[in-house]
Structure 1
Amino acid sequence: MTMVNERTRSVVQTEKFLRDIVRDPTLPEALRLRAKGLLRHYPEAEDIWHAGQLEEQRKVELLGLEEKHGPLPPVLSIWLATEPLFCDERPDSDSVA
């Protein structure tokens, strides 16, 4: 089972890997063009970390609403029961694990 911090790190490192491929003139042009095409819509590292921050903020605010007003409607309470997609804690280094 993938942990949220592992998933986040993997997505961030994949973006870096694709950028390394695009910049490496020793690799075949077709490969570099494919990597460049994938990067067109790939989230940047800052976007991933920001998404993690927003998910954490959402959870804190929903817990506050639940505490203040009682049980949340099911459509909101399900967010509290699901694991976030990304984390907001950046590792000390970007080493591949």
Structure 2
Amino acid sequence: MTLPYERTRAVIQTREFLEQLERDSNQNEATRSMVTQLLRHYPSRGEVLLQGRVQEWLGGRFGFEPFFSSKTTRD
């Protein structure tokens, strides 16, 4: 079972990985272009953490567990 903070961390780390691929001049142009298109619609770290805070607040009021959590830890 994946916990909210684990999902949050995975989404944030995936964005960081995509950003590294986009900057990597060893990648072919087609790959870098696809990564750029994906990043255009991928949430930023700040957006993910904000969504976690909103969900934690709503969850506390309405009794559901958030999909994301603003409480993340870095490895």
Q: TM-score, normalised by structure 2?
A: 0.90
Do the aligned partners of 2:12 and 2:44 also contact (CA within 8 Å) in 1? Answer: yes
Counterpart of 2:14 in 1: which secondary structure? Answer: helix
Please report the RMSD computed on the Cα atoms of aligned residues, expressed in angstroms: 1.3
Rounded to whole Å, the distance in 2 between the matches of 1:17 and 1:45 is 12
**1:85 alignment partner AA:** F
Pairing 1:86–2:46 present? no
Gaps of 5+ in 1: 63-78
Q: CA deviation at 1:4?
A: 1.1
User: Is structure 2 residue 12 aligned with structure 1 residue 30?
Assistant: no
Q: Percent identity?
A: 36
* 8 A contact 2:59–2:66 mirrored in 1: no
Q: 1 CA distance for matches of 2:17 and 2:49?
A: 17
Q: Which runs of 5+ in 2 are unaligned?
A: none
The two structures have a TM-score, normalised by structure 1, of 0.71
Bigger radius of gyration, 1 or 2? Answer: 1
Deviations 1:26-72 (A, max 9, x none): 11111111110001111001100111111111123x2xxxxxxxxxx
Distance 2:47 2:5 in 1: 15
3-state DSSP class of the match of 1:87? coil
